[in-house]
Structure 1
Amino acid sequence: MTNTLTSGDRVLVLGSSGFVGSHLAPVFDALGVELVRFDLHPDPHSARPTQIGDVRDVDALIEAMAGCTAVLNLAAAHHDFGIGTATFESVNVGGARAICAAMEYHGITNLCFYSSVAVYGEHATPPDEHTTPEPVNDYGRSKLAAEAVYRQWEAGGGRRALIVRPAVVFGPRNFANLYKLIRQIDRHRFLPVGPGANRKSMCFVANVVAAIGYLWSAPSRLPDGEPEVYNYVDKPDLASRETVSLVYRALGRREPRARLPLAPVLLAAKPFDLVGRATGKDLPITSARVQKLSAAETAFTADRIREVGFTASVSLPEGIETMVDWYQREGRHATPVVHLPPVDVQR
């Protein structure tokens, strides 16, 4: 058994109704692979049925995996607000254990896990796949622990655990940081802060799902014994001021020449931090958000995936333009729906 995706395979996609999962169908269709959907919620963007279930529920997973030949795990607790440490642990790590148990029940030996560059934590230089992970938050720690669960499962022999660690992913139907930036600029509620020279590693969603298909449809391209781990980032990285300029241009707006100094803006954002902590709401203006966009350097190395032959079809400027176009057609009036996982699952 080669543990590669080939025409006729049937893949259970956990977390299929999420942002990345909703963009998978074209890649799987091109490979001749059947996508079997599993999520806590149905996918409003697809007419294909979704099996409703919790990734921590072994019995539900065993039922959903019947007849499947591979598993792609996109399911995760990942939001910055509304999720406690115990839920990160139970969904991301407990879910990994439940998935392995269900795969062992069915004899499935082919897995792809959608992890995150959050496992690296903070480093002075851009981390690559050989950098020792030092996560600094619950999301990164639980993703790294889940990777360890899958590595232990893979050590059982004859099994494949392909791990992809993307940076921040954006694209149509995503309502995270880039959407909020586009919305603020569109509503005339944004002024550039600081010099904006900080680099921000990002990925366009169509490139990420294409990379998963490329890697998974062939045997491991790494030396024997090398863990099959790939960072994913669209290169070259953009400085934050370049991202802002691209959004203004795509919206057909003139970018302001003035840039506010960083220090007083961070001070002015402190009251919003207090309100956010008191209410548990993710406010559009916080000191952390200002720092992240205007000063924080979040760059990652992603040479390995290019060394094995993958080429992204969409550049970062093209991806930003595509997202702004979606925003103007649909996203401006869309209401983001945040699906938080239950604290625990009923067995």
Structure 2
Amino acid sequence: MANTIGPGSKILVIGSSGFVGSHLEAVLTALGAELVRFDLHPDPAGRDETILGDVRDVEALTRAMTGCTAVLNLAAAHHDFGIATATFESVNVGGARAVVAAMEHHGITNLCFYSSVAVYGEHTEPPDETTAPAPVNDYGRTKLAAEAVYREWEAAAPAERRALIVRPAVVFGPRNFANLYKLIHQIDTRRFLPVGPGRNRKSMCFVTNLVQAIGYLWSAPSRLAAGTAEVYNYADKPDLTSRETVSTVYRALGRTEPRLRLPLAPVLLAARPFDLVGKVTGKDLPITSARVRKLSDAETAFAADRIREAGFTPAVSLPDGIEQMVTWYLREGRDAAPVIHLPPAEVSR
């Protein structure tokens, strides 16, 4: 079927060596698709058939897309520290332009783009797909600009081209070393004390559910009305509060959650020196006022009704996903050394 994936599809997966890419592979191959791996870095599983290349390199992308029928772009500059605005621009927006140029060279008309809820910025109510984006950082701004590149490409031939855009909330799961991993590690090493009432909601998605959702959407024609941009938020529901997340981690670790909860205001005051050190050194410190607020006070909830209305039902609940993450942490993640890859400022060839 045109512009869907399944048996006979050959998909260029840009960013295949990353966390989400490593989990998506099983879903895409189960649908009968053949994958071509493309990444700036070698595959962590050691598969030497991965094509090493930069998402900004049109020539490298064009060579890699030979014989492909679809493209999945997971590549992005996304870390909070160590990336200049110009690099966000060149990787996320320049990369989108390079992908489009290579697709047009081969006449490929089927694209899935991994975006982010960061495009919405800060809102008092959970944004849905009709909410006007208002990004507040370079990551969200350049992800939104990349979406515009793909929308312009699709609009040039809407009857033939498809641009499926998925905007996930915070993603977690085995082999991920971001926010939830750091929380698990702090609790496990007894370096964590709950702060504030913890009533703030945190939209998250378990990686297994997310990749299944992408496969579900992409393996069928658009389920939206003609002329509607094919954009889907993804978050597992119902949202957990930060306190519920912390409690789930304690239970999964077999630990007793402390009854003491520190008041928010003095903890934020105590974190200010760490803010200054981080600003001067450019290091992502484990204790900052932003981190304290993000976990203990900030409301980061997003609506995700559209994908449910499309018929997708996630297989794993959020608490069960957290428990699976903790199981992986205890088995191998506790002693693993996370590798952080920052994109180079210039195109790597």
TM-score range relative to shorter protein: over 0.9
Aligned to 1:191: 193
What residue in structure 1 maps to residue 285 of structure 2?
283
Match of 2:262 among 260, 263, 269: 260
Give how far 1:54 is off: 0.2
Distance 1:331 1:285 in 2: 21
Matched ranges for 1:57-96 at <5 A: 57-96=57-96
**Aligned partners of 1:15 and 1:74 also within 8 Å:** yes
- 2:4 and 2:315 mapped to 1: Cα distance? 22
The answer (yes or no) to whether the contact 1:22–1:46 under 8 Å persists in 2 is no
Structure 1 residues 61, 184: CA separation in 2 closer, same or farther (over 3 Å shift)?
same
Taking the aligned partners of 2:267 and 2:197, their CA distance within structure 1 comes to 13
Per-residue CA deviations over 1:211-236 (Å, capped at 9, x if unaligned) read: 00000000000000000000000000
Q: Distance in 1 between matches of 2:330 and 2:280?
A: 33
Is 1:301 matched with 2:286?
no
State whether residues 38 and 53 of structure 2, in contact with CA within 8 Å, keep that contact through their aligned partners in structure 1. yes
Moved over 3 A (4+): none
Give the superposition deviation at 1:8: 1.6
How far has the Cα of 1:48 moved from its partner? 5.9
Report Cα offsets for 1:32-74 as digits up to 9, x if no partner: 1111110011111353621000000000000100011000000
CA distance in 1, matches of 2:259, 2:141: 41
One-letter identity of the residue aligned with 2:276: L
Query: Quick one: which amino acid aligns to residue 319 of structure 2?
Result: P
- Return the match for 1:333 from 332, 335, 343: 335
Deviations 1:51-108 (A, max 9, x none): 0000000000001000110000000000000001000000000000000000000000
In the TM superposition, residue 346 of structure 1 has moved relative to its aligned partner by 5.1
SS for the counterpart of 2:193 is: coil
Q: Which AA in structure 2 matches 1:88?
A: F
- 2:121 maps to 1:121: yes
Are the equivalent residues in 2 in contact too, given 1:168–1:203 (CA < 8 A)? yes
Q: Determine the C-alpha separation between the residues in 1 that align with 2:175 and 2:280.
A: 29
- Supply the distance in 1 between the matched residues of 2:237 and 2:348 (Cα, whole angstroms): 43
Which stretch has the larger CA shift, 29-38 or 139-148? Answer: 29-38
Q: Which aligned pairs between 1:134-145 and structure 2 lie closer than 5 A?
A: 134-145=134-145
Identity of aligned residues (%): 79
Gaps of 5+ in 1: none
Secondary structure of the residue aligned to 1:326 is helix
Give the count of matched residue pairs.
Answer: 347
Structure 2 Cα separation of the partners of residues 249 and 222 of structure 1: 41
Q: Which residue of 2 aligns with 1:51?
A: 51
Distance across 1 between alignment mates of 2:131 and 2:24? 29
The TM-score with structure 2 as length reference comes to 0.98
Deviation, 1:327, is: 0.4
Partner of 2:107: 107
Unpaired stretches in structure 2, ≥5 consecutive residues: none
Is 1:226 the counterpart of 2:236 in the alignment?
A: no
Q: 8 Å contact 2:169–2:203 — kept in the other structure?
A: yes
Aligned-partner Cα distance in 2 for 1:121–1:25? 30
Q: CA RMSD in A?
A: 0.9
SS in structure 2 of the partner of residue 8 of structure 1? coil
The residue type paired with residue 72 of structure 1 is: L
User: In the TM superposition, what is the alpha-carbon distance from 1:30 to its structure 2 partner?
Assistant: 1.1
Retained in 1: the 8 A contact 2:53–2:348?
A: no
